[in-house]
Structure 1
Amino acid sequence: MITNNNETTITLARCLKDGGIEAGKDIASIFYLMPIHDTIKDDIYDVTNYEVKLIPVIALMVTIEQIIRIIMRKQLSRFEDCFINIASSLVFTLTRVVMFTIVLRIYSWLYTNYALVHLPLHSASTWIISLLLVEFVYYWTHRALHEFNFLWAAHQFHHMAEDVNISTTIRDSVVDLVIYDIFPIPLALFIHPQILFVHLQFSLIYQIWLHNEVVGHLGPLEYLINTPRQHRVHHGKNPYCIDKNYGALLMIWDRIFGTYQVELDEEKIVFGTVSPTPKTFDMMTLMFGYYKNVWQRFKNCDNYREKMASLFYGPGWSPGKPRLGLIEEIPEVDHKAPRYIYTPYVAIWKKAYILFHSVAILIGFYMIADHPLIKFDPWKMTFCMTYLLLAITSFGALFDNRSYLIILEIFRCIVYFVFDQYVLQSTQWPVHQSTSVLIHLSLWTIRLGHLLSIMFWICMWIINLFTTNTIDDKHKSPKMTSSNEKIIYDSNEGQSQTSTDSDETLHQDSTYPVRLKASTFFILMAMMVFVFVPLTMSYLFVVPSCSRYYETYFFDRYLSFAQNITKMANYSTLMIGGN
């Protein structure tokens, strides 16, 4: 047991040092800066799943980006957009954990039986050659996602984002995932599966920092690697931005194949898609809604050739036009128009509620996503995915103010306890005693939160039975001007303008794009910076480092506390029995 204060201070310093070093390595790896020998393993199943490991670093970068936006006096990214991005990333990552278990076997089988060359495994030259080949395949995969309409149906979800921020990187559909993992399979004829697995992960991970509006020109680096300035062009719907800059780490293939485009300082880039975006935050609609458009175009074509062209030509094609359509038909962006197509009012209590439950899901996701007893159990993995989709759908209904959200949220909270019993409690956690205490404390906090949520929504349901008001107060109704015009805020200028939407098809509670006060966002960000981030970083980096020093220290005190409680209970029993 640790008793000396000086020794405790020294040990704490070592904990902080080790945790800081580990966090620094993880942050550096985001930029592809890592020792090559640390990533190469003799067994493919020993290769680290970096996409799961780096989740806390991504969360930290999202927060840091918003702080920088405050300092630069830029408007903060929308809470709803960030939620959709992060929620879709959980579905993406959980599905990819399963996909990797399948794809890695295919990679290994191909390399073992049909490899055309056998390059040395522990070699820097092999690592670099593999990087160039993966970049080449990624370039053409990404380009195909833009130039084939049936593939664009999967990828357009990523480009729907009207804000480009760190969280936009991980806004990908499940079909996107399958495409990104299947296209590189032929590389297993040339590359060791262990190295291929690492590069496939970092071709996505590197792009995390590319999605932001706060990093400007980076000088000579612009000629060597992909940068945020170049990737903003890729996300623009300005005519000069369409179908440009497909690279991940390197822009060499864009320059060779004629798709490279620099950002023009004289024309501000507007993000999003040329086609209208669905006016909802339901992720299933956003992710798969475009397939309806693909089917309608296919069905309306007159002959077999046109039907095939509607699938394998670009989204801008129509009969009589070139394969990718006419760039002249892409409308010029209107910089005076509202930045956001759809911005329903979301009360602050709803944001706080979703924030709590999102953190709970993130903690649970981080614990189970790459756990061997989960990813190799198809029933548990299916249950995890089902619950995750249920939660995302319920939160989307909360953003959209759907009439059925109360029943859906009560059902979700009840299902959580089934998930807790079937998945969490039946899974063994190979951790130190001190970490185990924190895990159980977190789980009981989450359970209490779900129990209180059930009680809250039941009360709201009862209230709604006896009132005709919506969940939000009457004074939160849309601000109206004459002639049924709603006030719409232009996020670029910070000024209001009016627009008539007599043909509006939205439901009654989600039609008013009111911008919250800066103080509200500041409070939310303060909570993130001073509460969520320190707790998360200490939980994920410092605690694992401390556990090997403080295991006895924590456990002995926990055991002593339990023994004292037991003695008090026994003494009380004797006293009652004596009376």
Structure 2
Amino acid sequence: MEYNVDVVTKIFTRFRRLFYIVSPKETSFPTVEKVPKYVDEAIPFFICLIILEVPILYLRGKRLPRFNDSFGSLANGLLSLLHGLLFRSVELVTYIWVYEHFNLVDLPWDSPWTWLLGFLGVDFGYYWVHRCGHEVNIIWAAHQTHHSSEDYNFTTALRQSCILRYISWVFYLPLALVMPPSVFLVHSQFNLLYQFWIHTETVDSLGPLEWILNTPSHHRVHHGRNRYCIDKNYGGTLIIFDRIFGTFAKEQEEVVYGLVHPLTSWDPINAQICHLKYMWSVFKETEGFANKLAVIWKGPGWAPGKPRTGLIEDIPDIHAPQEKFDRQLPLWTNLYIWIHMPLLIVFYGVLATYKTEFSPYLTLTGVVFIIFTLSTFGALYDNRPRASLQELLRCVVFLLVVKGVAAPSFLSSSPGLSLLLIYLMSLFIWLFVCVRQTSVTIKAKSS
């Protein structure tokens, strides 16, 4: 009975962390090494809430998550984590270096006042990195990935940029002048965790809390492409900085989600780099060195002769409902992809857990395989002509690599045999599909 009580207490403790319901005493640590990996511990709750959201949306008569859009969010989230398999944390390493060389005040790590300052400081830094992510084109090129979904649900929170972390760390460095790294690491994790649950349409209003906290209603506005939504509500945990700096907007009408110019592809690689490609084309076409630099440093809507962030009149004045980009796949293909996605996530987990035991070449091979897999599934959702052949090749490569590097004990175990069986069946499925497509093409040409 005592064991069960301990388990329930542990689950409840981890659950309330999603909402920043923690005390300074339980979340203050002397060193970075002592700080728990709160985000990793929250992953099971992410999964449970994503599943639980579906029946709630159904009962409330709201739009259900789509297979393709949910794949896009999960795929981009997985891509954003891959850097951790190859590199150390840029944000934390630079923060510690600045703190060790330039800190001005030695604040006690175990003081509630230090904890409170960390809470406010991290959220203030997030407000500005988020605001610049919308008002500086080169940073928007990274952040736009998160806004590329035309749906709004818990999976949308997972749709993150691979590039933004290499820019955002700069905005937090002023905190390193006074704030111990362990305090910064705690609050940077909780600031991120809090923002998961606000990506939902299942919560309408939180009453008086709407004045202080960032809520689902406020964040729905932030994700909208209605005119009144553009460049509003940048807050992470708090909404007070938006109210102070004049970037707050209240939810007024049904929000139309996504980019002003929506993507027309489910390829997660394209979602990461599409605006960089667009910027490059505009940069080449723009005349004058000063104007070329302005393409990088001014807003996404800027053009010569316009204000720094562009003109709001250039934004289409749209209202719900709006048709969403969609391409239909057979049910079996959707099920196939969503059977393989958990396998891919487990594979990532193995690489992340045992990366110190693997050779760098094996880890790099794993990263390339994950990227290739996500690109292939995106190609299937886009109905590209060679997507079937690409998936067939992926299955063949996986079987060959696993046969070559996996330990015999694993291959003979139940998990190993099950994995081999799944991929062998997948190989034959796509071999059949490719042969059938080839025969149809030959017949079409002959006729």
Indicate whether the TM-score tops 0.5: yes
Query: Using a 3 Å threshold, how does the CA distance of structure 1 residues 16 and 100 change in structure 2: closer, same or farther?
Result: farther
Give 1:207 deviation, angstroms: 0.5
Instruction: Give the letter aligned to residue 358 of structure 1.
Output: M
Query: Paired residue for 1:166?
Result: 154
Query: Paired residue for 1:349?
Result: 332
Please tell me whether residue 325 in structure 1 is matched to residue 310 in structure 2: yes
Distance 1:30 1:421 in 2: 41
Query: Paired residue for 2:361?
Result: 379
Residue in structure 2 matching 1:285, options 265, 270, 283: 270
Larger CA Rg, structure 1 vs 2: 1
Contact 1:246-1:259 at 8 Å conserved across structures: yes
Give 1:412 deviation, angstroms: 1.8
Query: Paired residue for 1:246?
Result: 234
Map 1:179-578 onto structure 2 (within 5 A).
Answer: 179-264=167-252, 267-275=253-261, 277-338=262-323, 340=324, 342-371=325-354, 373=356, 378-417=360-399, 420=402, 441-468=414-441
Distance 1:400 1:291 in 2: 21
Contact 1:51-1:93 at 8 Å conserved across structures: no
Distance 2:280 2:68 in 1: 29
Query: Using a 3 Å threshold, how does the CA distance of structure 1 residues 105 and 322 change in structure 2: closer, same or farther?
Result: closer
Distance 1:52 1:424 in 2: 26
Residue in structure 2 matching 1:47, options 23, 35, 38: 35
Distance 1:181 1:100 in 2: 13
Which structure 1 residue ranges, 5 or more long, are not aligned?
A: 1-12, 428-435, 471-579
Map 1:137-176 onto structure 2 (within 5 A).
Answer: 137-176=125-164
Give 1:233 deviation, angstroms: 0.8
Instruction: Give the letter aligned to residue 452 of structure 1.
Output: M
Query: Using a 3 Å threshold, how does the CA distance of structure 1 residues 234 and 102 change in structure 2: closer, same or farther?
Result: closer
Which structure 2 residue ranges, 5 or more long, are not aligned?
A: none
Instruction: Give the letter aligned to residue 383 of structure 2.
Output: N
Distance 2:353 2:202 in 1: 33
Contact 2:329-2:381 at 8 Å conserved across structures: yes
Query: Using a 3 Å threshold, how does the CA distance of structure 1 residues 123 and 336 change in structure 2: closer, same or farther?
Result: closer
Query: Paired residue for 2:53?
Result: 65
- Tell me, what secondary structure is at the counterpart of 2:99? helix
Contact 2:225-2:260 at 8 Å conserved across structures: yes
Instruction: Give the letter aligned to residue 426 of structure 2.
Output: S
Contact 1:206-1:249 at 8 Å conserved across structures: yes
Query: Using a 3 Å threshold, how does the CA distance of structure 1 residues 365 and 139 change in structure 2: closer, same or farther?
Result: same
Query: Using a 3 Å threshold, how does the CA distance of structure 1 residues 391 and 399 change in structure 2: closer, same or farther?
Result: same
- For residues 47-86 of structure 1, the C-alpha deviation after alignment (integer angstroms, 9 at most, x for no partner) is 2222223222111111111121011122211111111111
Contact 1:80-1:281 at 8 Å conserved across structures: yes
Distance 1:183 1:416 in 2: 41
Query: Using a 3 Å threshold, how does the CA distance of structure 1 residues 101 and 152 change in structure 2: closer, same or farther?
Result: closer
* Mean Cα deviation higher: 93-102 or 219-228: 93-102
Contact 2:143-2:161 at 8 Å conserved across structures: yes
- Tell me, what secondary structure is at the counterpart of 1:289? helix
- Tell me, what secondary structure is at the counterpart of 2:110? coil
Query: Using a 3 Å threshold, how does the CA distance of structure 1 residues 253 and 355 change in structure 2: closer, same or farther?
Result: same
Give 1:423 deviation, angstroms: 7.7
* Mean Cα deviation higher: 182-191 or 59-68: 182-191
Query: Using a 3 Å threshold, how does the CA distance of structure 1 residues 60 and 293 change in structure 2: closer, same or farther?
Result: same
Map 1:84-95 onto structure 2 (within 5 A).
Answer: 84-95=72-83
Please tell me whether residue 74 in structure 1 is matched to residue 57 in structure 2: no
Equivalences, count: 442
TM-score normalized with structure 1 length: 0.71
Distance 2:43 2:192 in 1: 13
- For residues 343-382 of structure 1, the C-alpha deviation after alignment (integer angstroms, 9 at most, x for no partner) is 11111101111111011112232343244526x9643442
Give 1:179 deviation, angstroms: 2.1
Instruction: Give the letter aligned to residue 130 of structure 2.
Output: H
Instruction: Give the letter aligned to residue 371 of structure 2.
Output: L
Distance 1:87 1:176 in 2: 16
Distance 1:89 1:206 in 2: 16
Instruction: Give the letter aligned to residue 272 of structure 2.
Output: M
Contact 1:36-1:124 at 8 Å conserved across structures: yes
- Tell me, what secondary structure is at the counterpart of 2:326? coil
Contact 2:268-2:375 at 8 Å conserved across structures: yes
Query: Using a 3 Å threshold, how does the CA distance of structure 1 residues 113 and 202 change in structure 2: closer, same or farther?
Result: same
Query: Using a 3 Å threshold, how does the CA distance of structure 1 residues 418 and 28 change in structure 2: closer, same or farther?
Result: farther
- Tell me, what secondary structure is at the counterpart of 1:41? coil
Contact 1:394-1:408 at 8 Å conserved across structures: yes
Contact 1:207-1:248 at 8 Å conserved across structures: yes
- Tell me, what secondary structure is at the counterpart of 2:163? helix
* Mean Cα deviation higher: 161-170 or 458-467: 458-467
Query: Using a 3 Å threshold, how does the CA distance of structure 1 residues 327 and 295 change in structure 2: closer, same or farther?
Result: same
Contact 1:317-1:324 at 8 Å conserved across structures: yes
Contact 2:91-2:165 at 8 Å conserved across structures: no
- For residues 26-54 of structure 1, the C-alpha deviation after alignment (integer angstroms, 9 at most, x for no partner) is 22111112343443333323322222232
Contact 2:211-2:240 at 8 Å conserved across structures: no
Please tell me whether residue 115 in structure 1 is matched to residue 103 in structure 2: yes
Give 1:97 deviation, angstroms: 6.0
- For residues 431-457 of structure 1, the C-alpha deviation after alignment (integer angstroms, 9 at most, x for no partner) is xxxxx9xxx644442332112111221
Distance 2:360 2:23 in 1: 35
Distance 2:255 2:405 in 1: 45
TM-score normalized with structure 2 length: 0.91
Distance 2:99 2:138 in 1: 30
Distance 1:426 1:117 in 2: 56
Query: Paired residue for 1:565?
Result: none
Contact 2:128-2:171 at 8 Å conserved across structures: no
- Tell me, what secondary structure is at the counterpart of 1:407? helix
Give 1:259 deviation, angstroms: 0.6
Give 1:424 deviation, angstroms: 6.9
Instruction: Give the letter aligned to residue 291 of structure 2.
Output: E
Give 1:321 deviation, angstroms: 1.1
